[in-house]
Amino acid sequence: MTAPASLPTASLCGICGGGPAAFASFRAVIVILIGFSSQTRAGWFCRDCGLTIFREQQKFSLAAGWWGIPALVTMIALLTNANEVDKIRRLPAPRHPAEPPAGAGTRYGRPLRPGKPVPHSPVIAIPIILFGLLLVLCCGPRFLY
């Protein structure tokens, strides 16, 4: 499969070289007690590579973003990522030019595999369990009846 020759280099995926691609920025957040740290992965992504990066960042934030007071930062990152992935989801399946462009990486022609959607991952249980424990601690055992 070949991409149209009219695609500029900027609209090719920075990971696999496929096109079309869209620019997106995905954040992952670590919250520990009273501090937090965030990591951003930004760039031009084809549909498959963008979905993979989105799911990795969301899963990481769901696992590491609830362990302290600034957990609100995690919610903001999750919502921002969900907004960014809409651009990626609208893209068609990636196509690759027959000849690799100059500077093509070792993954040229091999997009990342998106894997399971975030709701189908076991990591989704972490915020649910923490929220349930918070309800029990705040409301006491009467909440269970």
The tokens of 92 are what? 């068609």
What are the Cα distances from residue 108, in Å, to 73, 86, 100, 119? 35, 24, 7, 30
What are the Cα distances from residue 84, in Å, to 50, 68, 78, 99, 144? 10, 26, 10, 30, 38
Q: How many CB atoms lie within 10 A of CB 19?
A: 23
Is pTM beyond 0.85? Reply is: no
Mean pLDDT of 78-91: 93
Give me the pLDDT at residue 6, please. Answer: 47
The span from the CA of 70 to the CA of 76, in Å, is: 11
pLDDT digits (tens, 9 = 90+) for 3-24: 444 444 458 888 888 889 999 9
Which backbone phi and psi does 30 adopt, to 5 degrees?
-115, 125
Residues in CB range of 52: below 8 A, 6 or more apart: 111, 112, 113, 114, 115
3-state secondary structure (DSSP) of residue 133: helix
pLDDT digits (tens, 9 = 90+) for 24-51: 999 999 998 888 888 999 999 999 999 9
